[in-house]
Structure 1
Amino acid sequence: MGSGSFAARLAVFIILATFLAALAAVTLWTREQSRRLDDAVTSQAGFVLSEAKAALEVQLNLGLALADLPQVDGLLNRARVALPTIQSVAVLDESGMVLFSTNAVEVGESLPQNPAFSSGASPGAVWSDDVAGERVYGVGLTTSFDTSAGAVLLRVPVGAMTERVRHYALTLGIGALAVGAPLAFAAWLCGLWLIRAPRRALSEVAEALEGLEAGRPVEEAGNAAVAGSSLGLPVPGFLAAVRRRFGVLEGAEREVSRLDELA
């Protein structure tokens, strides 16, 4: 194998190793970032819903019906501003119909499959569910008599979170490439420098073995023996055994020639 071939193979190996290491690091860090982002959004959504729940229940405890509560739209708009990724904030009655929403199109819609009413969720607990590409957070509303009065829903597009994760992964990948390329090049140079002595020794051993039949000088065989010893290879014994075999073959050839002359 020539020097150029070895250098090319070493370069391919280092590039693949660097790529796989960078890919593994980017994947692990991206997953961790995705988990942290999800936890942060969930925590913020829970805070926003808790604030809205407290403000609405204060008015409910005054004896007002949920549909007749004043200034609900302003309350929902303030809640929506608190978390920029929110798509809409809505108030539902016990049947799952939207009474108030920051998105006017949703008002009057009925959500019979709302987990707040279908899964037995605790009225005071914040729950979440993925519905049609959206992350829906909600919390139940209760009256002073501990009866259910409805729920507050908060919708966040899943794409809003995944886009941030993709941007983070892209930025991390570019950074890994910027760091990995110089390191891979440095590793390639170091590999060539470290392997130069063993390669030279192997070349001497290979040349000596190839020159046995041609009867190369003993000095070259001695150099090959020294080189092989530096690599921990039993070159002297191997060379002696090969020479003995060549001697046996030469003797056999001479005997065959003599027999042919006598015949």
Structure 2
Amino acid sequence: MSDTIHQLGTSPRVLLVIDQPMLAQYVTLALNHSISLTQVAQNTEETMAALTSWRPHLAIVDMDLAYGAILERLGYTAPSNDHIPVIALTRRGDLQTKLAAFDHGVDDILTVPFSPEELVARVLVIMRRTYYEKVTLTPVLKLGDLEIDILNCLVRVHGKDLHLTAIEQNLLYLLAANAGRLLTRNEIMDQLWGTDYIAESNVVDRHIRNLRIKLQNGWRAPRYIATIPGQGYRFVATAETDPPAT
């Protein structure tokens, strides 16, 4: 392995081979805790170009998009014959799918849906195991007056700790990762519960309502979560100097 790929430096590079914007944003925000630079590739051409010109230290691959040839190129025959560690994302948790992924050179597999802290933990382990270096970890993400610490499962508003359930925290994280973008109820459900999950029709609305209460988010003048009637929800950035909504 070459010295260039061995040296993580201050800005390790992670290539995201993902063509779904919501999932790509979710992964990108999670990696802001430990990874400085990310780049998204949506097809084979963009993936191979990034391998040559950008020289990533790690690849996170959506197996639904990049199966077979792309996984082999990432895992075994990347430019200059350097092995790039690969984490595969899959919506299928069966043993056959996992074994096939490992056969294509994948180093680890994460089943969708997953929590951001689980992704960060997997990335840290693989980076340290591959490059024998510690990756700098940013403990807290600040989004307006919200502070999200996914590793310690803490959310604060104006310095006050909120007691959120795991689903509420992941829901807030998903919305914040896609700030300004409309997320439909079906998209939220698929991302947090999985495409095969069958639930009552108001499960997303119920968790949104509980989250708003804890955030003191008024629906008439939303500072965090805005409702788009008949469509879904959107995260609204807030100013740190604004008082909490009532």
Larger radius of gyration: 1
Which structure carries more helix by proportion? 1
